[in-house]
Amino acid sequence: MSLINKVLRDLDRRNATAGESGTMPPKVKAVEPEPATQEWFWRIVGALLVVALGWVGWIVYQVQPRPIATELARKAADEARMRPTAPRPQVAAAPAPVVQAPPEAPPPPKPVGSAVEPRETMRFAYSIDTPIGAPASKPEPKKRSDQPAAKKQPTSLARTESSEAKSRIERRDRVPSAPERAETEFRRGVDLLKQGRSREAEAAFAASLSSDPAHHGARQALVALKLERRELGQASRLLQEGLALDPAQADFAVALARIRIEGGQLPSALDALDAAASAGSNYAELHALRGTVLQRLGRHAEAAAAYRAALGVEPATPNAWLGLGISLEALQQKPEAAQAFRNALASGPTSVELKTFAEQRIRALR
């Protein structure tokens, strides 16, 4: 307490002294603290400097030269250096080959003695140069011991001949023949036709005929496509070309005759059928169609013969029986005609029109 009292008395004394002198103590101005923004700015600058210095140091470290050989490579080199090295054999340089013209003298007689075994490279070159399957050439006559030995051919020259022999061997692929190409295109066209790609199939069939015009299947398929599109002119041309190559193709003759019948060319249709009649003797449709053409031309006797030829091949043909009945009725052979109409009804299933017509003719001929 005495110390506190002393301090208080000192303060009172100072205040009194100041009051007496008439001067006031100076005012104290508070200093505002500096904002913290400047402090963070300098910190960021310092951090950036540190990063920049580190990056420069890393670049300097990367560009410094380093030894290429690793420690393991140095170790292997030291071991190899310590290992004693064997002396290298001295290889004599091979003399340059001397090309000499072969003597024109006749070959010497077959000597008796041991043959010198040729080098492996020479044997290999000879085996490649000889075609497979060719008869082996006769061995050269053995040389006598008193004759000077021929100079051996250098290995490098033998290898050169071997490489040249290899280069002469060429792989030759088998070229398919024209009928084989035609068959391949035909099968491709059939596959395309099954997929519904008729235009591409038509091109394949045309390519098949280009390779082999006598290919029957390709021509038949191409004609069918033309008929389906009602391109009768092109179909007729294809059929005529096929018959020119082989007149015995009865199905082509029938197709051509039908096209001509549709165009009203009955004599021309008959000519096409007559040309193939001998080859199509067992083709019932050809005889029946020929009978129809003859019947329309009014040649009923020949038509009846053609219908009988068709029935001789296939008796159960209602259309042939019906045509025969019409021609026999025209020839005033009524009983035979009525029987032909009955046979038409009994030969198998018939259409309503055929059945109605046959029944009417049977009633009319009673």
Provide the CB-side half-sphere exposure for 236 (13 A, CA): 15
pTM over the 0.85 mark = no
Could you read off the pLDDT of 111-152 as tens digits, one per residue?
Answer: 443 333 434 333 333 333 333 333 444 445 444 544 444 444
Lowest mean pLDDT among 29-43, 96-110, 313-327, 350-364: 96-110
Closest CA to 317 of 331, 329, 328, 306: 306
**How much is the pLDDT for 121?**
35
Closest CA to 286 of 263, 246, 258: 258
| Burial bucket for residue 14 (CB in 10 Å: 0-12, 13-18, 19+) | exposed
pLDDT confidence tier of residue 174, bands split at 50, 70 and 90: confident
Q: How far apart are CA 140 and CA 151, in angstroms?
A: 16
Q: How far apart are the first and last CA of the chain?
A: 172
pLDDT confidence tier of residue 280, bands split at 50, 70 and 90: confident
Per-position DSSP letters for 267-287, written without gaps between them:
HHHHHHHHHTTTTTTT-HHHH
Domains in the chain: boundaries: 177-226
Give the residue with greater pLDDT, 14 vs 139: 14
**Single-letter amino acid, residue 46:** G
